[in-house]
Amino acid sequence: MMIEHMAVSLGEVKLDGADGDMTFSGYGAVFGNVDSYGDVIAKGAFKKTLADAKKSSVWPAMLSQHGGMFGEDATPIGVWTEMREDDIGLYVEGKLANTERGKEAYQLLKMTPRPAYSGLSIGFRATEWTMRSKPEEPRRTLTAVDLLEVSLVTFPANSKARVMSVKNEFNPRAIEDGLREAGLSRADSVRAVAVFKSMLLRDEVEPNSDHRDDEAAAEVRTERALSDLAAKLRAMAKAV
């Protein structure tokens, strides 16, 4: 059975290097979104492969450009520390290795005004799927896949994904650009960023009840605000 690939855009890239680790997070796949090959992944498609990985401790590899053809390109550039399905897709968190290739990947992700890497892509074997019965349907709906690796890639085939973890700084322009790439209008993107900023300001006046340091407390506030913003965006999408 051949190895297949499906790519998604990283959108806004945010990284966490506060503890010396070169970490990032995003979506390796997005449910219900047809890629350039005409395939769509259904929610639940990763359930078995993720359960097997966590049980065996043999996780899908983190590669660059799907490992290329041979040599050092096939050597992992880091490890995935978290993989799970949510309502959006396959959420992943990873740590880049303290090697030349790992450090190079981290620097490419941190570049401004935009990251040099533009996507995540999965390498998998389809194990269960349904073929389309009508011309307007996707070529295949994948209901179960064997996930082999998730790569950082330069040229993604699918643009429906966003990095959800914001741990270093709040960048309104980058968030607005990411929302527009995800399909929102300019006006809605500006409005969403304004809501997000108000959430952060609201949370800054709340007492820090867990007694963690300021940096950790700021991370909690940001992630809470992002969660609230995601819920509002889902509500906006349903209303359209």
The string of pLDDT tens digits covering residues 42-66 is: 999 999 999 999 999 999 999 998 8
Segments making up each domain of the chain, as ranges = 4-153, 172-239
Confidence of residue 131 (pLDDT cuts 50, 70, 90): very high
Contacts of 8 (CB under 8 A, 6+ apart): 27, 28, 29, 30, 33, 89, 119, 120, 121, 156, 158, 159, 160, 161
Cα–Cα distance, 119 to 158 (Å, whole number): 9
**Residue from 188, 109, 208 nearest 154 by CA:** 109
Cα–Cα distance, 78 to 97 (Å, whole number): 4
> What's the pTM value of the predicted model, to 2 decimals?
0.63
Q: Name the average pLDDT for the chain.
A: 75
The residue assigned the tokens 């043999």 is: 58
What pLDDT was estimated at residue 54?
94
Confidence of residue 174 (pLDDT cuts 50, 70, 90): low
* Mean pLDDT across 150-169: 55
What pLDDT was estimated at residue 41?
94
**Residue from 108, 111, 103 nearest 78 by CA:** 103
* Mean pLDDT across 209-221: 44
Confidence of residue 3 (pLDDT cuts 50, 70, 90): confident
* Mean pLDDT across 118-132: 90
Report whether 94 contacts 26 (CB < 8 A): no
What pLDDT was estimated at residue 70?
54
User: Helix or strand or coil: residue 94?
Assistant: strand
